[in-house]
Amino acid sequence: MKLAIVTGANKGIGHGIVECLVKCLTPQSDWHVYLTARNVSLGNAAIEGFAKQGLPVKFHQLDITDKASRNKLADYVKSNYPNGINILVNNAGIAYTNDSAVSLSEQAETTLATNYFATVEMCNTFLPWMAKNSRLVNVSSTLSVVALKDLGDDLYEKFVKQMTMDQLNDLMRDFVNQAKSGDLASAGWPQTAYGVSKLGLTKATFILAEQLKDDPRKILINACCPGYVDTDMTNHKGTKTIQEGAETPVYLATLPEGTTEPYGQLIRDCKPLSWTK
């Protein structure tokens, strides 16, 4: 049995990705597609909605920010899917509205904890259990490129050159600390917690791809931007439908066996984006 997992998928883009995967992965009887969500009742409600459409989707609770929750899912995978994970789409994430009353320092800590640190830990936890010819997709954003262009010169040079994951983690912690002390601009950081969280996630994807380029399992690792999608996260101001937003993540998740490109890139509208000013 082949296994696909999509995080943060009880609604929005994640829900759309699950729907597309269930419909396009063939033969359907060979696949188990899992929707994960923090809230069990919301996750089960999503499953019931799929069932009414005749779509066989499975559910497992997952809070990506909770180590115990990540490990519980990992143990479940090891026990029930000895051949490993064929598709992992790290879609779970958060964003504050532009008019949020929450302070930038709090936004920085909360947003990076989920969109960057927890997502990187998802990769670290599940990469050992990825199957041969599997696909890892991190849902990032074009705003990561905007944040890259808005970095001070010293930080920009660091982000366009190779670095280690430890070095990247330190930079992400520095952003949170500078946000708390009110020194973002003087330290060369843009005033956007969401943009920097996705800047970190995109760069982390590049680093993971470099680390695993010679892995015999030939895992295709990429980040993507789904576009500006009509979801709760955008207050339904997005111009793309959920199905349109799911297109690029699903494209990357279902690249045919033997495909070598794209690899270690940020993809939007099924095309690579440049990682420069």
Does residue 194 have an active-site annotation? Answer: yes
Q: 249 and 91 in contact (C-beta within 8 Å)?
A: yes
* Distance separating alpha carbons of residues 49 and 136, to the nearest angstrom: 26
DSSP state for residue 117 in the 8-state scheme: I
What is the pLDDT at residue 218? 98
Q: What are the distances in angstroms from CA 277 to CA 61, 116, 152, 228, 238?
A: 40, 22, 12, 21, 25
* Distance separating alpha carbons of residues 9 and 35, to the nearest angstrom: 5
What is the pLDDT at residue 229? 64
Whether the CA torsion 234, 173, 155, 226 is positive or negative: it is negative
CATH class (in words) of the domain with range 2-272: alpha beta
Catalytic residue among 194, 228, 251, 263: 194
What is the pLDDT at residue 240? 77
Three-state SS annotation for 138-207: EECCCHHHHHHHCCCHHHHHHHHCCCCHHHHHHHHHHHHHHHHHCCCCCCCCCCCHHHHHHHHHHHHHHH
Q: Which residue, among 269, 272, 242, has the nearest Cα to 16 in the 3D structure? A: 242
Which residues fall within 8 angstroms of residue 176, CB to CB, at 6 or more apart?
105, 108, 109, 112
Tens place of pLDDT for every residue, the chain, 277 residues? 999 999 999 999 999 999 999 999 999 999 999 999 999 999 999 999 999 999 999 999 999 999 999 999 999 999 999 999 999 999 999 999 888 999 999 999 999 999 999 999 999 999 999 999 999 999 999 999 999 999 999 999 999 999 999 999 999 999 999 999 999 999 999 999 999 999 999 999 999 999 999 999 999 999 999 976 656 666 666 667 888 889 999 999 999 999 999 999 999 999 999 999 8
pLDDT tens figures, 81-102 = 999 999 999 999 999 988 899 9
b/e sequence 138-168, b meaning 16+ C-beta within 10 Å? bbbbbbbbebbebbeeebbebbeeebeeeeb
